[in-house]
Amino acid sequence: MIIYDLIDLKKIRRALLYFACIAVLLYVQETMLSRISPLGVRAMPMPALIAAIGLFEGGLWGGLFGVLAGLMCDMSSSGTTVLFTISFAALGFLAGLVCEVLINRRFYSYMIAAAAGLFLAAVCQALPVWIYHGASPLALLRTAGLQSAWSLPFAVPSYFVCRAIAGRKLKE
């Protein structure tokens, strides 16, 4: 059977595992983490997972899974149409590109990329409020910073899960 030579079962397995991670994280984010809001902000660790996928799989896979996660987040959130789809796709692609060219795939590099991704996603959420409702930019940046800080601890497991799925053994 020549068709079996064209199918890469390892890539299909990894893609299904990443999809399962996105689905589980979205469920946790929307059911459990949405009920806990210290200082009025809610955790949104999905951008960190997309950054981890981009980190280990490259820009193309990061962008594709960013589109998928963005669509799922846009469908589960009210008031957004394509905000997360576009921003998560760009985040996944850029995280993969930066990790292929500039930084290594270590934990500290990931945490910097995850923090930047979380902050940029929070700023993207705040932009429509600033543009259409005239909210104070400083208050929105403060809220974005608080949301990023609250989401950052939930980014830690994403690194180890995605590293295990990618099968990368990093030299310490």
Distance from C-alpha of 18 to C-alpha of 87, rounded to nearest angstrom: 18
> SS3 for 103?
coil
* Residue 21, pLDDT above cutoff 90: yes
Distance from C-alpha of 67 to C-alpha of 9, rounded to nearest angstrom: 22
pLDDT score at 171? 44
Give domain limits for the chain.
47-165
Mean pLDDT of 73-84: 81
For the chain, give the percent of residues with pLDDT over 70. Answer: 92
State the DSSP string of 139-166. Answer: HHHHHHHHHHHHHGGGGHHHHHHHHHHH
* Residue 93, pLDDT above cutoff 90: yes
pLDDT score at 61? 92
Whole-number average pLDDT of the chain = 87
Tens digits of residue pLDDT in 99-144 = 888 878 889 889 998 999 999 999 988 888 888 888 888 988 999 9
* Residue 150, pLDDT above cutoff 80: yes
Is the distance from CB of 147 to CB of 42 less than 8 angstroms?
Answer: yes
pLDDT score at 1? 52
- Type and span of the H or E element at 82: none
